[in-house]
Chains A and B, each alone.
Chain A
Amino acid sequence: MNNIYEKFNLLLVEENKEEATKFILELLQNKEIDILELYMDILTPSLNLMQCMEDKRLCIWKEHVRTAIIRTIVECCFPYVLKKRDELNYSKKGTAIVLCPPEEYHDLGARMVTDFFTISGYHAIYVGSNTPYSDFRNAIDIIKPNIVAISVSNYYNMVVTKKVIKEIKEVVGYPIKIVVGGNAFNNDTEKYKIVGADYYAKTYEDIKNIAGDEVAL
C-alpha cells in the first residue's frame, strides 16, 4: 500500500491528472486495491497530508489542483462503490443526505462519505458545498431522511451548524440522526456534542457503526 501511495503522490505533485486517474482505475480494475482501501489509505491521506514545499504563494492553488484531480478519481469510482455495496450486501437502510453548511466550500470529504453511506446500505444523496439554510430545512421536510451528515472544515461554520441542527431537531417530527465530520471536528472528537449532533464520523468504520446503531434503533 505504501508503494501505491508514494507513486500516486508523485503523480499528484506533478499534477498529472491523466496518469493519476489511469493509475488508480487500473489498480481497481485489476483488483490490486479495494475501493475502501483506496478511499481510506490513499485518497484521504493524499488530501490531508499535503505539504506545501515550494512557493508558499502557490499553496492554495496547488491544494485546489490536487483536490480537483482527486475529485475526478472519486467520480470515476462510482461503479466500484456500487460493486462493493452489492458485494457486502448490507441490509437496506433509509436515506442519508450529505451536505456542507452555508459558506462551507470544502466538500470533497462529504462527497467521499456519501459513498461510505451507499456502501453501508443507505440511499445516499450528496448535496454538496454551501447549501443554503432554507433549502436545508425544506429538503428535510420533503425527503424525510433518516440521517443528515454535515461536513464542516472551517471552524467558524460550526456556528451555523449548531443553529441548523437545533432547528432540524425542533422541527422534524421523527427520530432523525445528525452526523458531523470534517476538519473542524478532527482535533477533538467530542466537539460534535457542542453543536448538538448525535455522531462524529471520520472513517468508513464510523459510518458502518452508525449504520449498525441505526438498525438497532
Chain B
Amino acid sequence: MNNILELKNIDKIYGTDIKTQVLYDINLSFEQGSFNSIIGQSGSGKSTLLNIIGTLDKPTSGEVLIDNNNVGNMSNNKLAAIRNRMIGFVFQFHYLLPEFTALENVLMPYEIKGGKITKEIVKKAEEYLSLVGLDNVKNNLATKMSGGQQQRTAIARALINEPKIILADEPTGNLDSDSTENIYELLRKINQEIGTTFIIITHDRKIAEKTDRIIEIKDGRINLDIRK
C-alpha cells in the first residue's frame, strides 16, 4: 500500500520568549486505507499532532507530505484547497449549523469548495446520510436530532468531498457506550467500503483496541507504535 500521509522529523515549539516544545522529532507514515488510532494523556501533544496532520497548524520544523505533496511550502489558498479535497474532519462536538437540516449540513463543505448544488450531489449527500443510517431524519434541523445522530451527520459531512483521509478527534467523547459502538461500526464500514484512511484520536479503549494500529504519544514523543 502507498503512504497517503508522511510526517518527517516534526518538531513543534510554541512561544518565542518562553519556548515550550510539545512535539519532538515525530516520524510517522500512514498507508492508504489504514485504520489507525492515536492515544495519549491530556497534554501529551496528540491534538497538536492531529492539527499538524490536518494542516490546521504548521510544524516548527519538519515536513508533512499528503499524497506525496509537501504541504510546507504551499500558499494558504493552496493549502485550504488540498485540505478540503483530501481531508475530512470529525470532532468531539459536531459543530453542525443549527439553522440547517442534516442534508444541508452535509452539503456545506461541497458548497464551500465552490461546488454547484446539483441533483447528483444531493443524491450523493443522501447516499452518505443513508450510509450513516439517517434516511429518516435527513430533513430534520440539526437541533432536532440526538447526540448520536448529530455525530453521524458530522461523519456524512466529512465524507461529502470524498476525502482520502478522515481525521477524527475524540469522535465518541461526547456519546454513551451504545452510540460509541455504533459510531465505531460506522467508521469501520466507511473504511472497508470506501477505503478511506482513518486517524482517530481517542481516550476510549473500546475504540482504540479495535483499530489496526495504535500510536501512543507521550510527552511529545512516540512512545509506542503497534499494529494488530
Contacts and interface: CB of A to CB of B under 8 A. Distances in A.
A100 B47 CA distance: 31
B126 interface: no
A158 B37 CA distance: 14
Contacts of B39: 159
Nearest to A161: B224
Nearest to B40: A159
Interface in B190-228: 205, 208-209, 214, 216, 223-226, 228
Interface of B: 39, 205, 208-209, 214, 216, 223-226, 228
Contacts of A195: 224
5 contacts: A158-B214, A159-B214, A191-B226, A194-B225, A195-B224
A85 interface: no
A162 B224 contact: yes
Contact of B209 (A154, A187, A191): A154
Nearest to B211: A156
A187 B224 CA distance: 17
Interface in A114-157: 154-156
Given A158-B226, A191-B226, A194-B225, 10 more contacts: A103-B205, A155-B209, A155-B214, A158-B224, A159-B214, A159-B216, A159-B224, A162-B224, A194-B224, A194-B226
Max count, chain B CB within 10 A of own CB: residue among A159, A162, A194: A159
Nearest to A103: B205
**Range class of the A interface residue count:** 10 to 19
Nearest to A162: B224
Interface in A30-66: none
A202 to B, nearest CB: 18
Contacts of B223: 162
Contacts of B228: 155, 187
Contacts of A155: 209, 214, 226, 228
Contacts of A158: 214, 224, 226
A156 B205 contact: yes
B208 A156 contact: yes
Contacts of A187: 228
A178 to B, nearest CB: 16
A155 B228 CA distance: 6
A103 B214 CA distance: 17
A191 B216 CA distance: 15
Nearest to B228: A155
A130 to B, nearest CB: 13
A102 to B, nearest CB: 11
Q: Which 10 A-B pairs have the closest CB atoms?
A: A156-B209, A155-B228, A158-B226, A159-B216, A156-B208, A156-B205, A154-B209, A162-B224, A159-B224, A155-B226
